[in-house]
Amino acid sequence: VPKPSVHLFGATKNATAGLNSATAFADPMLNLGGKEDAESEKLREMAHTLSALDAAFSVGLPVSLEAELAAKKRRANNKRGGLGYVSTPSCFPQKPAPVFAQREVFERFVHDSLFFIFYYQQGTYQQYLAARELKSQSWRFHKKYYTWFQRHEEPRFATDEFEKGTYKYFDYILKEGRDIGWTQRFKSDFTFEYAFLEDELV
């Protein structure tokens, strides 16, 4: 009996082990004479089928769809924002120090530190304290552009719905391989619509 090459799940495997077990099952019936040729052929086909099944199990069962979707979700979460949960040495601090829950500490941070905490500690008390400190320094969060603006000068034009002038803003977008972003920039003749002004934080 020739050794079949089995193609399963994109892998090619010589099913020697499976064929050996299947051939052992078929051997007693292979030399029965002319009358048994049809039955011998059926046994040979069965040997090939069994060897293919053995090869399939040796390649490995496919991962369940649910497990694969969970793995994709974990990978996506790790990419989003660049911060995934990883195992770190037990000697590293495992919880934020209590001092980082005090507003007075945030008053000492430079702008870059406050922006980092705001963008990379989402949903935490530290993000709240960073935003509160930025607002106390006359920075205002723009809900459409998801960034912080500060007046560089008094607005040249203002109504009940918007103001227009030159603003300083924080460019938080980092592009891989390019030395741009994560810096303060100026935008002249910018219209800041009050509808996009965050005014919920107290």
pLDDT in tens, 152-181: 999 999 999 999 999 999 998 877 766 678
- Residue 34 has a pLDDT of 53
- Two structure tokens written together for 201: 């934080």
Residues 6+ positions from 187 with CB-CB distance below 8 Å: 149, 166, 167, 168, 169
- Residue 5 has a pLDDT of 42
- Residue pair 185/169 in contact by the 8 Å Cβ criterion: yes
- Two structure tokens written together for 190: 């910018």
- Residue 65 has a pLDDT of 57
pTM: 0.56
- Residue 4 has a pLDDT of 44
Given a cut of 50, the residues of the chain with pLDDT beneath it are 1-19, 21-26, 29-30, 32, 61, 63, 80-81
- Residue 195 has a pLDDT of 96
- Residue 50 has a pLDDT of 77
Residue 185, beta-bridge partner list: 169
- Residue 174 has a pLDDT of 74
- Residue 202 has a pLDDT of 66
DSSP annotation of 121: S
- Residue 94 has a pLDDT of 83
d(CA 151, CA 114): 18
- Residue 25 has a pLDDT of 47
Which H helix or E strand runs over 157?
A: strand 157-158
